[in-house]
Amino acid sequence: MAAVLVIGAGLLLRSFETLLRVDPGFAPRHLLTLRVSLPRQRYGDNQRTTAFYRELTGRLRTLPRVITAAAASSPPLGGPSGDTLFEVEGRAAAASGGPNGLRAPGGGGGGAAGRHAYTWVVTPGYFQAVAVPLLRGRPISAADGAASPLVAVVNETLVRKAWPGLDPIGKRFRLDLGPATMGPWIEVAGVVRDVAIRRLDEAPQPEAFLPEA
């Protein structure tokens, strides 16, 4: 029994050491996260919610020793924000019965294998706050408002799945919003590095970051 315990402890320590060497894709040092839940009675519409988070992050940036602050629907390693199928402009919709049991965009039919992505909503400065490198294009900015053309920043894995070997900047995709409902076309503004979503030992997943406005 002692030998079994020693071997088990050794394997556990080895696994822990391996996880410590995994690059999560962002800089966790000196990064503080907190979760905020707004009452629907007061913040029931998108305009009020957007104004709240912009004021909150703006005031946080003025605090001593705070380098920058931003908000997101979920932080890295905080779990997925939302998983949905998406359709690439100029390509056939995903076949019915795609990943995670989600239906196909546009109601099914033939076409490519199901493409799915985790979607996040972020405020300007998010990638700087979590130190996720921007590889191409531009990040989400304050100019990406409700009246502006809809844009997104995507990660490396989504680019490989949607536009292999191509420059994704300016390419468009749209999300599956529900039964027979597709969202508006979203233009790719930038590409960021892959980040661990749930666990350090999980393979990178396709991700799309949308402006909170």
pLDDT at 104: 37
Q: How many CA atoms lie within 13 A of 177 on its CB side?
A: 7
CA-based angle 118:189:95, to the nearest 5? 40
Cβ count within 10 A of residue 93 = 23
- Token representation of residue 49: 């919610």
The structure tokens listed for 163 are 């536009």
Residue 204 three-state SS: coil
User: In a 10 Å sphere around its CB, with 0-12 CB exposed, 13-18 middle and 19+ buried, how is residue 3 labelled?
Assistant: exposed
Q: Return the pLDDT at 169.
A: 97
Q: Report H helices in the chain.
A: 2-20, 46-60, 126-129, 156-162
The whole-angstrom separation of Cα 127 and Cα 44 is 27
In 3D, which of 5, 3, 57, 59 has the Cα closest to residue 33? Answer: 57
pTM: 0.76
Q: Report the C-alpha gap between 120 and 141 in whole angstroms.
A: 15
Q: Which residues pair with 151 in a beta bridge?
A: 187
Q: Name residues of the chain where pLDDT drops below 50.
A: 94-113
Tens-place pLDDT, residues 85-106: 888 988 755 443 443 333 333 3
Quick one: pLDDT at residue 20?
A: 58
- Cα–Cα dist 83/86, whole Å: 10
Q: Which residues contact 41 (CB under 8 A, 6 or more apart)?
A: none
Phi and psi (nearest 5°) for 67? -80, -50
The pLDDT value given to residue 210: 94
